[in-house]
Amino acid sequence: MKLNLTDVLLEDKSFDQEVPIELESLEYSFGSFPIREKSSALISIRKDEEKMLNIHGTASITVSIPCDRCLEDVQVTLDLDFDEKVRTGADRGPAEAERVPEDAAEDAGSAFEPDYYLQGYYLDVDKLLFGEALLNWPSRVLCREDCKGLCPVCGQNLNNGDCGCVRKALDPQMSKVLDIFSKFKEV
Please give the residue ranges that form the binding site for Zn ion (CB under 5 A).
67, 69-70, 143, 147, 151, 153-154, 156, 163, 165
**C-beta of 52 vs 70, nearer to Zn ion:** 70
CB of 26 to Zn ion, least distance (A): 20
What's the min distance (Å) between Cβ of 77 and Zn ion?
A: 17
10 vs 153, beta carbon nearer Zn ion: 153
CB 138 within 8 A of CB 16: no
CB 175 to Zn ion: min, Å: 17
- Cβ proximity to Zn ion: between 67 and 118 the closer is 67
Q: Least separation, in Å, of the C-beta of 181 and Zn ion?
A: 19
For Zn ion, which is the closer residue by CB, 25 or 160? 160
Give first-to-last CA distance, the chain, whole Å. Answer: 48
